[in-house]
């Protein structure tokens, strides 16, 4: 049980680390257009992101996929920017089923990119044979999922408070928060190491 808790905690800290807030920014951008009534859809999005994240870690840990760190570190803020921009262009519009399916696919793909960003560190803490890596990966994924649900729950609570007490419309709240995320992520893209090559 203690080994389970070790990898579960690593997953929690990976998402909730104040110094590595890119994961939280992505979750804010992902969840801000939704309300508590959409909780099933939001949980599905979060789970798809976790699945993509875990798939990328598995592919990397087993040596199937390798990607340069600076490329991934550049792509992660791009995924956040694209999610926030999507919110800006769709805020206040009725969600069509086609859009939701597209969001599901993109969330899975973005999970893969974010997972590749963590793969080198995760490989360094894993040892042993291939078969001994599957359980720690699963435990880590559960930690990620739990932390993401916490972040999304906080976003939904804030959305509820802002929309009911302060009378923000859902559209305005989505626009403000998406612009906030863009304001943080654009400097991350500009300061990326990829431009120094």
Q: What is the pLDDT of residues 134-161, one digit of tens each?
A: 889 999 999 999 999 999 999 999 999 9
Phi, psi angles (nearest 5°) of residue 93: -90, 150
Q: How far is CA 8 from CA 82, 135, 146, 148, in A?
A: 29, 11, 9, 13
The more confident residue out of 94 and 48 is 48
Q: Distance between CA 138 and CA 135 in Å, rounded?
A: 5
pTM above 0.85, yes or no: yes
Q: Distance between CA 184 and CA 25 in Å, rounded?
A: 9
Phi, psi angles (nearest 5°) of residue 21: -85, 5
3-state secondary structure of 39: helix
User: Does 131 have pLDDT greater than 60?
Assistant: no
């Amino acid at each position: 049980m203690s080994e389970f808790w070790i990898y579960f905690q690593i997953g929690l800290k990976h998402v909730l680390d104040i110094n590595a807030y890119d994961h939280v920014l992505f979750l804010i951008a992902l969840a801000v257009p939704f309300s508590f009534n959409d909780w099933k859809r939001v949980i599905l999005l979060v789970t798809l992101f976790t699945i993509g994240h875990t798939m990328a870690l598995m592919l990397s840990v087993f040596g199937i996929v390798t990607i340069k760190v600076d490329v991934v570190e550049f792509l992660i803020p791009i995924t956040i920017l694209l999610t926030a921009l999507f919110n800006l262009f769709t805020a206040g519009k009725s969600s069509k089923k086609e859009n939701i399916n597209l969001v599901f696919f993109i969330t899975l793909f973005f999970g893969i990119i974010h997972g590749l960003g963590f793969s080198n560190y995760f490989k360094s803490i894993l040892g042993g044979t291939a078969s001994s890596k599957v359980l720690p990966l699963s435990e880590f994924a559960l930690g990620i999922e739990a932390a993401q649900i916490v972040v999304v729950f906080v976003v939904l609570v804030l959305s509820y408070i802002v929309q009911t007490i302060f009378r923000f419309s859902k559209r305005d709240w989505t626009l403000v928060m998406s612009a906030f995320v863009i304001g943080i992520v654009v400097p991350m893209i500009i300061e990326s190491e990829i431009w120094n090559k």
